[in-house]
Structure 1
Amino acid sequence: MRQLVWLCIVAFTATPALAGPPFLTDDPEPVAYRHYEFYTFSTLDHSTGSYGIQLPAFEFNFGAAPNLQLHVVAPIALSVLDPEPASYGIGDIELGGKYRFFKEKGRRPQVGIFPVIELPSGNSRRNLGNGQVWARLPLWVQKTWGAWTTNGGAGYTVNHAPGMRDHIFGGWQIQRKVNKKLTLGAEWYTAGRDTNVARAPQLINAGGFYNFNENFSLLFTAGHSVHGDSHTVAYLGLYWTWGPAKDAEKSKPARPTHSSADFVLP
């Protein structure tokens, strides 16, 4: 049982917070060319006898070319595993690139990939990191109808660290723009069976974002597992975006675009 809990807490703290701030499911929409995004945020993943917390964590995205986004996440992690002392320090750093193959047109959704690698900057002996480089290789799609947007997809995680295993993950989300400032949404997400002792959790997560203005937003979600290992997850963050107005996509709303970190499970 002790080995089971230890492997689970490593899984919880091995990665940055989420797949698509503030949601777990990502989308294929990159940052507009020559535009920038910055997030500062905190996440929670609570399971029986353990907490995985990121406080603070930072994300930066850059529109390096049309349809191409470069991405980095750097978290400070807190690991609490009863009855051991809590550990606090830098977590694993994430690097990635999102590329959109098809823009949305007529009935056709937009489609893109977002491969990322996780660098073992967190101390795995203190339950702050995975201990080895690992990667996620997802495909995402998105379609919009008026005030409604839906996106989803799936991918494959390659993780050969001790006690971890390769696995499939995926999710689907729907959200509605309530007004110019508020968007709300909900999703189903599964992180996959990431260790030999885990039961793949499936979660229902809900939240949204509030736009104070077109460049500054508050992001929030909370959710709980409905199948598999028990997890309670939450996200709270602030988001800024900037760049030349003439390069922005006219159809793109003033809202955060999604990044690619899983929630606290790889």
Structure 2
Amino acid sequence: MRFGVSLSARLIALSILLAPAAALAGPPFLTDDPEPTETGHWEIYAPLFEAAGRGTDFSGSAGVEVNYGAAPNLQLTVGLPAAYTHDAGGWRWGAGDLEVSAKYRFYRDEAAGVQVAFFPGMTLPTGSNGMSAGRVTALLPIWLQKDAGAWSVFGGGGYAINPGSGNHDYWTEGVAVTRHLGDRLLLGVEADHQGADTIGGKGSTSLGAGAIYLLKAPFRVLVSGGPTFDDGGGAAGFHGFLALGVDF
């Protein structure tokens, strides 16, 4: 779940992780998937570290994401981040904005291996020490999924509501490919684009690779990263993600 206004959140690409076996989706990719957490079960990612920026100027979060299967085809998600920035002046930390969302899978064809879900979410201005957007922001995405044996292709797009002085709303879109290698390892690559989120700003395109490795149940390690390029050129930036996941 990455729909705030931090640099890492701005790299959101709307797409889905597809898996013919047990669902391994969303984190660590910049995207999410249409498959909700199983009814009555929990998925927790903690500690969860995200970073994005250019050179020694970067920002991100370190926190917890909690998913709960509230009903068939319905997942509720809460993100509780601590946010940070680093620049020439050093480090700065504070509470991040609270993230809440609800994933509703409204279409599923098991025979065809297709799923579609709507996953609206918002951030609430609960941050401190300059780490808050100061306003409610929102993302309204659609996730699409199609399986093909051990291979999966996912993609989608959505509209981000980004109020504030100098800001404007924008669209995002993305596509990714993943593959299971045995029972424990999933690898994937993705390409995502986000429109400019400020007046006179530039959009950006992010490329990335990610992996999920299953440890002894119920744990798994998730990692991803790659470069980010501003539309129109310039030095490349970067994004990264690392978390320990647990299901129960």
In 2, Cα distance between equivalents of 1:131 and 1:121:
8
Aligned equivalent of 2:111 = 106
Counterpart contact for 2:11–2:193, Cα < 8 Å: no
Q: C-alpha distance in 2, partners of 1:185/1:15?
A: 20
Q: How do 1:122-161 residues align onto structure 2 when only pairs under 5 Å count?
A: 122-123=127-128, 126-161=129-164
- Residue 152 of structure 1, CA deviation: 1.2
Per the alignment, residue 21 of structure 2 pairs with none
Unaligned runs of 5+ in 2: 14-25
**More contact order relative to length (CA 8 Å, sep ≥ 6):** 1
Mapped contact 1:17–1:43 kept (Cα < 8 A) = no
Do 2:155 and 2:176's aligned partners in 1 also have CA atoms closer than 8 Å? yes
Query: Which moved further from structure 2: 45-54 or 110-119?
Result: 45-54
Q: Secondary structure, in 3 states, of the residue corresponding to 1:103?
A: strand
Contact 2:8 2:51 (8 Å CA) reproduced: no
Aligned residues: 229
Q: How far did residue 81 of structure 1 move?
A: 3.6
What are the within-5 Å matches in structure 2 for residues 1-266 of structure 1? 11-12=5-6, 15=9, 20-40=26-46, 41-47=48-54, 50-54=57-61, 56-82=62-88, 84=89, 86-107=91-112, 109-123=114-128, 126-228=129-231, 230-242=236-248
Uncovered stretches (5+) of structure 1, i.e. residues with no partner:
1-9, 243-266
Partners of 1:75 and 1:231 lie apart in 2 by 22
Q: Structure 1 residues 214, 14: CA separation in 2 closer, same or farther (over 3 Å shift)? A: closer
Name the stretch that deviates more: 143-152 or 19-28: 19-28
Taking structure 1 as the reference length, what is the TM-score of the superposition? 0.80
Q: 1:42 to 1:18 in 2, by over 3 A?
A: farther
Matched-pair contact (CA < 8 Å) for 2:191–2:207: yes
Give SS of 2:6's match.
Answer: helix
Q: Deviations over 1:99-137 (max 9, x none)?
A: 0011133336200010001001113xx441211001100
Larger % of helix: which? 1
- 2:156 and 2:57 map into 1 onto residues whose CA distance is 29
Which one-letter code corresponds to 2:208 in the other structure? N
More strand by share: 2
User: Residue 17 of structure 2 aligns with which residue?
Assistant: none
RMSD: 2.2
Say whether the 8 Å CA contact 2:8–2:52 is kept in structure 1.
no
Aligned-residue identity in percent:
34
